[in-house]
Structures are given as structure tokens and as C-alpha cells.
A and B are shown apart, each in its own frame.
Chain A
């Protein structure tokens, strides 16, 4: 692995995104619109303050999951992955290059969404805004790593897009964002403990409530563990030799 190649890969991914300004605008604008909708749909109730904060940190996960799985699928179908695999590029160069590029995009995305939510919509959270943004970047890396590992299962872009409702939507339902997990049926509660988004949400919930403590650290580390595991799974799908 070499920093030169990792850096070149990150730069390449960022350049690809720059040539697709519409995608960049969508990545940033859609969460801003959604969070605005959320405020006015729930009106005066405190729902916005309860789920708005965690949502700021979850949007990047969803965007990066989709962007990564499609980008990686294109890399496979266009033959560029095969070409890269014949070159002096370590699999880790590719994975970390993607991670670097998407972390940067996620930081910009989360900062702008946070600016809209906290600055314009007057979202009230007990914790610090910067901590929410940091978690958002971690979650973006989780989304990227998950997207990378499932992209190998997709044979077409149609399939890759379907992975969003298949892999991410159930996790959003079960992670505790929409309903408290301890009020769920026992089976669902146990299932929620094996889903990465649960840990991401628990960390965000604590930060937005201003609960900085060992529990928060444990959840943050758990998410990091899921990122590493998903990256290893993704690396295992990158084969130098194919049948």
C-alpha cells in the first residue's frame, strides 16, 4: 500500500463527483429539504427535536451507501477494476481512497445539513453540533463500507439501487429512531442488536441528549468495528483473478 496511490484514488473519486454536479447538489440538497419537511410535518410537537438531531447524522450514511455501491458496481462493469487489479495498487489503496473521498463529501454534507437544521430551523439538541457532524462522518464511512461490500452482490445498477430499501430501510425502522427499541417485540429487539445502524443511532441519540460518557464511547467504537468488518468483507470481494 502506498500513500501516493491512496491519495491519487481519493482525488480520482472526488474528480468523478465534481464532473457530476447534479449528484453533488442532490447529496447536499435532499437532506436539507427532508429535514425542513420533517419540521413542518410534525409542527409544534417535540418529534422534530427528538429525531432531527440523529437524522442529521444518518443522512450521510444513506447517501454514501448508494453512491459507493453504484460507483463500485461501475468500476466492476466498466473493466476499470480489472485493469486496476493488474496494476501496482493494493486493495487497501482503493478502499482507503474511497473512504477519504467520501469522508470529505460527508463532512461537507453534514455541515450544511447541520447549518440548516440548527441555524435556520432552530433544531434544539443538548449536545454539541460539532459532535453530531463528527458522528455523521463516521456514519458516512459506515455507509460507504456497507455499500462497498454489498456492491459485489449486484449484477446491475437496478439491483444496486434496490439494496437501499433492502439493507438500509429495515435498519432505519429497527434502530430506535422511529420507535424505542425496548418497546419492540422481543425478536425485533434482539435483531436490532446485530444491525450496525442501531449502534450509529445510539451514539447519535446520546450526543444529541448531551450524554457524553463511556456508553457513547462504546457505541462509537462499535460503529468503527462495523466499518472495519465491512471493509474487510469488501476487500474480500475484490479479486485479482476472476473465473
Chain B
């Protein structure tokens, strides 16, 4: 049943720049969970995410989100997307950026103030994004995706460059959103973030190595350290 999964990927093949990045990938992302998409650089995480939000040209295979084909017009207000590099207007203030995206998404103007607080940018909301630090810019980009409270939130390495305190707060926010029944898919190449996920999807060379919980990963490999466990699993896949 595809309806039980927030995202269902089946036989997905994607070629980017002549290279086959995803070669028949199939996986599911459960609703109401925080799912971690993990794998080394070049594993195909970003390409998969681009397919899920519907901006990637796909060679073959299907991707459905909330039962609709990925990228359908009905999904555009229901799926939030945070790109790896902050994609906001550098020549607008934090508040102006959020106000613009809020009005596209049909969010209430009051939400702007709320998300500014959520990402801890209350002090900086009147400043131009270009004048902010890298971590602050990443938070503006993140806030943009939170402004209309999407049903599915897809984040491509959202915590890169953020300090540990803010990282922990954001992970708490992700879990709070999941507790409301929203689905969070977070990519990361930092294995210590894996422990904070409900489910893990381990990707390598465009293929799914494993789909399991952090506990199962430790159990299966007999290793407590998730980084070592992932490496163990990746090596097994190689043989």
C-alpha cells in the first residue's frame, strides 16, 4: 500500500551529467517519522531529494509523495524543500524573504514571526541576508520551508555549518513536527546525526544499502558506533 508511506520510490533511474547517479533505486519513507538519508558524498542523496521534490528530470521509475506523483501541482504547498546551499535572496532582509515565501505558500503573516523565533533569528530579522553568517543564512533558508508547516519536509544537509546548540534544537523541532504527523526526511553525511533519526536509509553508489532503525543498525553489525556500523554495512555491500 503506497498510502501508508509518505514517499514511495520505485525503480528510480536518474542520469546527471552523463553519469548514472541512481540505478533502479526503490525505497519508502514512513509518515510521521524523522527519516535520515545517509551516505557518503556522491551516493545520490541530493539527486534523490531533487526527485522527491519534483525538480529532477527522471529517466525511468516512479516517485510518489502522499499518494501523488512527485512534483504534482497539488503537492507544491504540502512539500517543503531546503536545498543544501541556502537558497534565499541575499539582497532582502530575513523578514522580507520569509514574507515573500509566506505569501506564495498562502501562510498567515503571523507565521513569519513564529518561524523567525523557531530558527533563533529574532535578533537578525531586519538585517540583509548577505550580511549574515553562513550558519544564519542556512537558518533563513530552513525557516522558509517551515513557514507554511508542510506535511512533508525534505532537507538536504540542513545542519551543515550550524553550531551544536542550534543543531540539537533543530533536531528537537524536527521531532516535534513529526509528532504532529508530519514527515521529515533529512540527508546527512554526519553519522552522529543518524542516532537522532527514527529510521535510516543508507545509500551508497545510487543504491539502497539498508533501511533500518539506528537500533537495528547497531544490532545487525554488533557495533555501537553508527559511523563504524555504516562502514561495516557499506563494505558488506561491496563484497
Instruction: State the A residues within 8 Å of B (CB).
Output: 4-5, 8-9, 11-12, 15-16, 19-20, 78-80, 82-89, 240-243
Contact = CB atoms under 8 A, between A and B. Distances in A.
B105 A88 contact: yes
18 contacts: A4-B103, A5-B104, A11-B100, A12-B92, A19-B128, A78-B90, A79-B85, A79-B87, A80-B88, A85-B55, A86-B71, A86-B79, A86-B81, A87-B77, A87-B104, A88-B73, A240-B54, A241-B71
- Interface size class on chain B is 35 or more
B89 to A, nearest CB: 6
Contact of B103 (A8, A16, A19, A83): A8
A16 B89 contact: yes
A84 B145 CA distance: 11
B53 interface: yes
Contacts of A87: 76-77, 101, 104-105
A86 B53 CA distance: 7
B192 interface: no
Contacts of B76: 86-89
Nearest to A243: B57
B96 interface: yes
Nearest to B154: A86
B11 to A, nearest CB: 18
5 nearest CB pairs, A to B? A79-B87, A8-B103, A88-B76, A12-B100, A83-B87
B181 interface: no
B158 to A, nearest CB: 14
A82 B55 contact: yes
Nearest to B88: A80
Contacts of A20: 91
